[in-house]
Structure 1
C-alpha cells in the first residue's frame, strides 16, 4: 500500500498522503478481507460519507504479487475520483453480454447479475464524469478474457490485458484534478470580495485567520460553476471541514461554519465552468 500511494504521489499531484495510527484521523481507511475475495473502494468525495468505523477501501487478495500491486493502484484511483475505464461513456465498447454475466458468475468472482451490471456493463453518463476517449492501458481498466468484448474486434479475439500500471492518460487527468500546490497563498479579508479569472479545471487557495470566534459565511459570486472547500490548518496540514458544490445548479457555492480566533483556515475554490464573463468572486463575512 505504501508503494502504491508513493507511485501516485510521484506523478507530482498536489496531495500529501500521511499514514496515521488512529482510525478516527484517517479519511482513507484501508481494510482487508481475503475471505470475501473482493476489492472495492468508495469513489472520490464519497469516502467522506463512509462511517468512521468502516473502511473506505477494501482489498480481497494479496497485494504482494504483480497483479496485486495493480489492484492497489486501481483502488487508490477510485479514491482520487476515477471510475472504471471500461464504463467510460466515450469508450464505444460493445459486449457479449451473456458471456460477461456467465464468466463473472463463475469463481473467483461469483458475482450476481446486478453486481456484474454495476461493475462492467453499465455505462456512465457523460454528465457523471470528466474524461476523454477510452484508454485501454488505464490502471482503471479491468482484464477481460477473449470472447467477452464484441467491439473493438481485436479484444474479442485476443482479450484485453492492461499492464497494471498508471498510464500517461491517468497521469494527465490526476494532474489536472490535483495540480501542484503553491507554497504561498493570498489572505482573504472579511467583507472584501476578491475577483479572479480561472480556466475550467483550475483552482485557487486563500487563507483565513478570523479576528473573532463566530459563524462566518464563505461564498462565491458570479455565474460560474464551482466547488468550494474549507480546511483547517492543524499541525501544518489542511484538514477537511466542509464543502459545497454548486455545479449544474442555479446558485452560488456557500459554506457557513463557525471559525475560531487564532486558528488558520484554507479556502479552496475549483472552477468547473467560468460562465459568460469568465470572472469569479469570493468573499467571507
Structure 2
C-alpha cells in the first residue's frame, strides 16, 4: 500500500526567558501556536498564473515553473473538509476569499512538493505571496480527504499524534528511515526525524493520552513499530475525525460567548485560568491611535479585530511570550466602527489580579 505523508515545514524554536517555572513554560509552549477563539480564518486558493514555484531542471542548468493552482475537484474536497471541522461547532470559523492579501491561510496544490501546513499562528509569519499550506497529490484518490482534514488540523494548531510523548511507541528506527527514504516520500533522515521519530514536548501534544485513531496520526505498515506489540503488523487509523480530535478543538475553540464592552480608560479584570479567554468589544470615542494592553503578572496574547462587512478582520496582535513585560500594542481605531479585543491567558504567577484596558 502506498502511503504519502504530511511533511511539516521546519518548526521554529521559541526563545523564552531563561529560568521560567516549568508550569509557566509548559503553558507557553502549549498555547503559543493556537489562535484566539472567535478568529475568522480566511482562506484562499492560489490560482493566478503568477502563483508558482520556480525549480531547477536537473542536469540542464535551466528552471521551470510549477503552478500552485488546483483543479476544481481538488478545491471542492478542501471546502468540504473545512465545513467538516466547522460543523463541530467550534468558535473559530472559516471563510473563503479570493484576495490572498485578505487570507491568513493560502493554499497551493504544487505536485511534487508534498502535503504540509504551517501550524496555527505560525501562518501569520509567512509572506503574503507565499503558501501556508500545500496539498501535493490528488485529493480525489483514496486517502485524499484524510490529507485535507489532517492539514486543516495543523492550521488549527494540532501536531502529529504519533509524535506524542504519551504514545509509548518504540520504533525500529532504521526500518522507518528505509521505508520513508523510498517512493513515494523520498525523505531524508532529518525529515523523518522531524515528522515521525522526534517526540514532542508534553505541552505540545494534542492531549494527555495517545489517540491512535486521530486524523493527525499517520498510518504505518508492518515492521516499523516494535511496541506496542499490537501495532507490529501495522497501524491504520480510519482517516476521519476521532472523538479525541473533536474534544481537543472544542476545548481550545468552544462556541464563542457574547463579548463584554471594553470602555476606553476603564480596566476590565481578567478572571481567567490557563488557556482561557476573555472577549470584549470597543466603540472608540474618537479616531486616533490607542494602546491596548494587560496589567498584572501574567503571560497573555492580545488580538484586536476590526468588524468589516459583519465579520471580524485581524488588525493587530501581541504575545508577551514569557517576558516580564505585559502584553501591549498600539493600534489606530476609527470612531463609528466596532472592534473586538480578545485576550487569551497562557499563565499567571505571583499575586494580584490581571486586567486589560484600552486607552
The TM-score range, normalised by the shorter chain, is: over 0.9
Query: Which position in structure 2 is the counterpart of 1:201?
Result: 275
Identify which of 216, 234, 256 aligns with 1:181: 256
Identify which of 76, 92, 100 aligns with 1:15: 92
TM-score normalized with structure 2 length: 0.75
2:302/2:327 contact within 8 Å kept:
yes
Cα offset for 1:17?
1.1
Identify which of 136, 145, 154 aligns with 1:78: 154
* Structure 1 residue matching 2:101: 3-state secondary structure: helix
Task: Classify 1:136/1:31 alpha carbon distance in 2 versus 1 (closer, same or farther; 3 Å).
Answer: same
Measured on the aligned residues, the alpha-carbon RMSD in Å equals 1.7
Task: Classify 1:278/1:88 alpha carbon distance in 2 versus 1 (closer, same or farther; 3 Å).
Answer: farther
Cα offset for 1:275?
3.7
* Structure 1 residue matching 2:270: 3-state secondary structure: strand
Identify which of 172, 189, 195 aligns with 2:247: 172
2:123/2:132 contact within 8 Å kept:
yes
Aligned-partner Cα distance in 1 for 2:244–2:194: 24
TM-score normalized with structure 1 length: 0.93
Q: How does 1:208-223 map to 2 (within 5 A)?
A: 208-223=282-297
> Could you report, residue by residue, the CA deviation over 1:156-185 in whole angstroms, capped at 9, with x for unpaired residues?
2x2111110111111111011111112x32
* Structure 2 residue matching 1:197: 3-state secondary structure: coil
Alignment size in residue pairs: 282
Unaligned 5+ segments in structure 2 are 1-77
**Higher RCO (Cα < 8 Å, 6 or more apart):** 2
Question: Is 1:57 the counterpart of 2:133 in the alignment?
Answer: yes
Cα offset for 1:104?
0.2
Aligned-partner Cα distance in 2 for 1:170–1:277: 35
Unaligned 5+ segments in structure 1 are none
Cα offset for 1:127?
4.4
Cα offset for 1:277?
4.9
Task: Classify 1:18/1:101 alpha carbon distance in 2 versus 1 (closer, same or farther; 3 Å).
Answer: same
Identify which of 279, 282, 285 aligns with 2:356: 282
2:161/2:205 contact within 8 Å kept:
no
> Could you report, residue by residue, the CA deviation over 1:226-267 in whole angstroms, capped at 9, with x for unpaired residues?
221111111111111222223433222212222222222110
Aligned-partner Cα distance in 2 for 1:185–1:125: 33
